[in-house]
Structures are given as C-alpha cells and as structure tokens.
Amino acid sequence: MKISHKLILAFSVLIVILTAEIILNQVITNRATKTYETLQSEINPTLSVLKHYESINKEFTLLLNNRVNGDDRISSINRIRGIIDVELAYLEAELKSIKESIPIENPDKLLIEELIKDTEKLISISEKLKLLFKNSKNQQDLLNTAKGIYQSDILVLHASIDKNINQLNVNYKREFEAYNNELAKNLKNVSNIILLTGTFGIILALIITFQITYSISDPIFKLKKAALKMSKGNLDERVQITGDNELAELGKHFNHMANALKKSFNEQENQIEEIKSVNKELEQFVYVASHDLQEPLRTMSSYVGLIRELYIDKLDDNASKYMSHVEDASLRMKTLIKDLLDYSKIGKEKTVTTVDLNQIVKDILTDHELIIKDSNATVDYDVLPTVNGLEVELKQLFQNLINNGLKFRKEGTDPHVQIQVEDQGEYWQFSVKDNGIGMDKKFHERVFIIFQRLHNRNDYQGTGIGLSICKKIVDMHKGEIWIESEVNQGSTFYFTIFKDLNEI
C-alpha cells in the first residue's frame, strides 16, 4: 500500500472514532441535560413548595392555638389574616400547578389532590374563624367557639396536611436522588466514553504512527546507509526495499542510478588509465627526445663556436651576425630542452617523505643570496609547517614562485616577497606575495599553461614553463593553485597541500 493511502486510511479511522465519540457524547449529554432540566423544573420547585407549606402549616397552627387561648396581639392577628388571605391561596395555586404536571399513573398525584382538598377546607374553616373573630360580641364565647373549631377541625387538617407533606417529601426526595444518580451516571458515562475513545484513539494513533514511521524511516535509513557507502567508493552497494509504495520506487531508482554511476565510473577509470598511459608515453617521449636532442645540439654549438674561432677574420659583418643568431638560438634551444627535461622528471621519484618547509625556504634563500643582494630584495616568511610530500618538487615549487617575485619587479622599486601559511583543516594554504608588475585578470588562468609567456624575451628571460611546473607539483600533492593580481599592483600566488598525503 502506498504511503499516501496509509495516511488517508489512518486519518479516516481517526475521524470515524472521533465522530462516534461525538455522537455518543451528544446522546448521553442530552440525557443528562434532560435529567438536569427535570430536577430544575419539576422536583426542586415541588420540594421548595412542600417545604414552604410545611413551614406555613406549623406556623398557622401555632398562631391559631395562641389566638384561641387569648392571644389578641395585633401582629399575631395580622399574620393569621396574611396566611389565610395570601399564603394559603398561593400554596393552593402552586399545588394545582404541580398536579397538572404529574402523570395520571403517578401515585403522588393522589397525595397532591388530597393536599389540595385539605388546603381548600383549611381556607374555608379559616375564613369562618376570621368572620367569627370579627362578628362576635362576646369575647369569651368567641374564644370557646374558636377553640372548639380549632380542636375539632384545624388540628385534624393540620395532621392530615402534615402527613401528606411528609409523604410527598419522602417520595420527591427519593425521585430527586434517583434523578441525581442518573445525572451522575450519565456524566460518568460521558467521562468513560471520552476516556475509552481517547485511550483507544491514542493507542491506534501510536500503532498507525509507528507503522507508518517504520515504513518510512527503515527505507530512508537503508538509502542513507547505501548512499554513505557509495560516497566512500563502494559503488556495488544496493538497497532492498520491498513493497508497492513511493519509497520502494525510490529504492529502485536509487539502484538504477547506482548501476549507471558504476558504469560511468568504470568508463572514466578506463579513460583515466588510457590517459595515464598516453601521458606516460608522452612524458617518456619528451624525456627521450629532450635527452637525445642534447647531443646533436652540443655538436652544432661546438661547430658554430669552432667556425667563429677559426674563420672570424674571413667572415663579413652579415656572416658574423648570422653566426651570432645561430649561437643565440642554440643557447635558447639548450635552455628549452633543459626545462623540458626538468618538467618530464617531476614526480619520477614518488617517495613521500616528511619535509621541513622552513629548511626548504632557507636553502633557496642561500642559493639566491647574490641575486637578492644585487637587487636589494627582501624575502619574509612565516613559521612554516612540516608536511608530507616530495622534497625535491616542493623545493622547486617555492623556488619558482620566489624567482617570479624577484624577476618580475617594477622599475625603481626594491623587490619584496612575503610567504604566509594558513591552516584550512585538511589542507595547508600557502601564499607567495610580491610587489612586482602584476598582470591583467584575463591572464590568471593562462600563466599556468606550459610555454605561455606574457612578456618579451628581451625584457624578462625564461621559457614560460616555470608556473606550469608549479601547477604539476601542486596537483601531485592533491592541492590547487591560483593567482590574484592586478597590473602594477603585484601578484599573490595561492596554493594548497593535502595534509594526510601518503602516496602520489
């Protein structure tokens, strides 16, 4: 299954779980809300009315008892009138309202009806007592009659009302507890559903996450491991990713790339071997040709010198001039052949040794002491490191760059050469800076090509092979060489040498 399909499936399952949780929570929450509304709209108001009625019933009975026994305080009389005219009427109306809300099959309906009848009787008898208290002229007769009504009717109604109220309180409190327990149960169910679905969702999410993560991370780890091995030169490394997803396709493309890379690398190796073979043959040819050319060149130079020595008096001015041209050409040819031999000999001895560059520079300055003194030049250098390399070639590298600084000097300016070094991690970076004539930027690459000259031979001697020798030596030490220069602003040659060089 493709990773995108797995993700869609995982999110679909989680959405289903969340939807089910929302629906169940809504159903149970609706039930809890209905229970709570029943408590608030029916049971609690009824209990409140019953509690109020219970209090009024006791107070009214006590006030009547005091009144029939001679209590004629205005406050007591007014309170009795207030209970008869207001409180009992209000309680009767509330009881009738409660009765209407109670289903017919509910046994509490009968108790409410009895309580309403008793209330109506109590109101009626109370009205009689009120008229009696108002119309009677004989106070003692009033009290006797009222006491008789109180003892025969009021106390009976008081007992009946109190009994019914107590029974209704018991019933409604039982209903209150039942509804309260149902509400608590519903709320607990909501909590349980949230807990269970949440736990299940988390576990499922962890399983899905682990499965998807593993299906992604394991192939990526294999690809990373294979890429790392290939970066270290193991082009035979391949990845095995099973399945029918994007990463499996990536693994196949990776293997195709590795095969193409190995094929290309093998072809390059073959081409490199061919180039090495051709270069070796060319170097051998140059070496042999240069070596073999020296003998006829020496012979020709000897005969030219002999002719000049024996027949100088017999030669006219033109012949003498031509002989001088031949001698100059022979000398340049000799220098050129020597430089070719030097170039072809570079790297013949490929034994890497420990080379103290401080000693190398000291030896070069000793060899060039007269030139430095005659030109009033100065050469400064940092404390240089000891490196692994070819001693003869490294000496030639520094010698050629120092020679350039001394040779290509500006007129009227004393030459100054400065050698510096920086640690660049895996490489040492050197710079040889001079204050000479410099060069245009367009020649920065050209100067490292063999036999490339930027100046007239009469102005500056040389064959144009020195910097190409420097480049070849730096390449052998796995480094790079470049130049920064402007006309009349001097030149700075930079080159690097690999620190951990073990073989060429």
State the DSSP string of 435-470. Answer: -S----GGGTTGGGSTT---S-TTTS---S-HHHHH
Residue 284's pLDDT is what?
Answer: 59
Q: What span, in angstroms and rounded, lies between the C-alpha atoms of 247 and 460?
A: 65
Residues 124, 127, 130, CA angle at the centre, nearest 5°?
A: 155
What is the sign, positive or negative, of the torsion defined by CA atoms of 205, 210, 213, 216?
negative
Please say if the pLDDT value at position 250 is more than 80: no
- Is 241 domain-assigned? no
Higher-confidence residue of 374 and 190: namely: 374
Residues 118 and 162 sit within 8 Å (Cβ to Cβ): no
Residue 498's pLDDT is what?
Answer: 93
Helix axis angle for 391-407 and 466-476, nearest 10°, is 150
Residues 391 and 353 sit within 8 Å (Cβ to Cβ): yes
Structurally, the chain folds into a number of domains equal to 3
**Which residue among 345, 368, 396 closes a domain?**
345
HSE value, Cβ hemisphere, 13 Å, CA-based, for 161 = 29
Q: Exposed/middle/buried for 174, CB within 10 Å: 0-12, 13-18, 19+? A: exposed
3-state SS, one letter per residue, for 207-255: HHHHHHHHHHHHHHHHHHHHHHHHHCCCCCCCCCCCCCCHHHHHHHHHH
Same domain flag for 357 and 282: no
Q: What span, in angstroms and rounded, lies between the C-alpha atoms of 365 and 362?
A: 5
Residue 5's pLDDT is what?
Answer: 62
- Is 21 domain-assigned? yes
Same domain flag for 50 and 93: yes
Least confident of 173-177, 335-339, 476-480: 335-339
- Is 310 domain-assigned? yes
Q: Exposed/middle/buried for 140, CB within 10 Å: 0-12, 13-18, 19+? A: exposed
- Is 324 domain-assigned? yes
Same domain flag for 299 and 386: no
The domain in which residue 411 lies consists of 349-498
Q: pTM above 0.85?
A: no
Residue 385's pLDDT is what?
Answer: 94
Amino acid at 13: V
Please say if the pLDDT value at position 297 is more than 70: no
Same domain flag for 165 and 62: yes
Q: What span, in angstroms and rounded, lies between the C-alpha atoms of 215 and 218?
A: 6
| Highest mean predicted confidence (pLDDT) among 33-42, 200-209, 337-346 | 200-209
Same domain flag for 370 and 480: yes
- Is 218 domain-assigned? no
Which tens digits make up the pLDDT trace of 104-130?
877 888 888 888 888 888 888 888 777
Please say if the pLDDT value at position 325 is more than 80: no
Q: What span, in angstroms and rounded, lies between the C-alpha atoms of 451 and 453?
A: 6
Please say if the pLDDT value at position 307 is more than 80: no
Least confident of 66-70, 298-302, 343-347, 476-480: 343-347
Same domain flag for 13 and 160: yes
| Highest mean predicted confidence (pLDDT) among 247-261, 309-323, 419-433 | 419-433
Residues 331 and 463 sit within 8 Å (Cβ to Cβ): no
**Which residue among 208, 229, 255 closes a domain?**
208
- Is 266 domain-assigned? no
Same domain flag for 336 and 365: no
**Which residue among 208, 233, 248 closes a domain?**
208
- Is 313 domain-assigned? yes
Residue 176's pLDDT is what?
Answer: 73
With tokens 């994007």, the residue in question is 246
Confidence of residue 377 (pLDDT cuts 50, 70, 90): very high
The SS3 of residue 426 is coil
Percent of the chain having pLDDT more than 70?
A: 76
Please say if the pLDDT value at position 457 is more than 60: no
Instruction: Tell me the pLDDT of the chain averaged across its residues.
Output: 78
Q: Exposed/middle/buried for 177, CB within 10 Å: 0-12, 13-18, 19+? A: exposed
Which tens digits make up the pLDDT trace of 216-231?
777 777 777 877 877 7
Least confident of 158-162, 191-195, 396-400: 191-195
Please say if the pLDDT value at position 495 is more than 90: yes
Same domain flag for 169 and 290: no
Residues 161 and 57 sit within 8 Å (Cβ to Cβ): yes
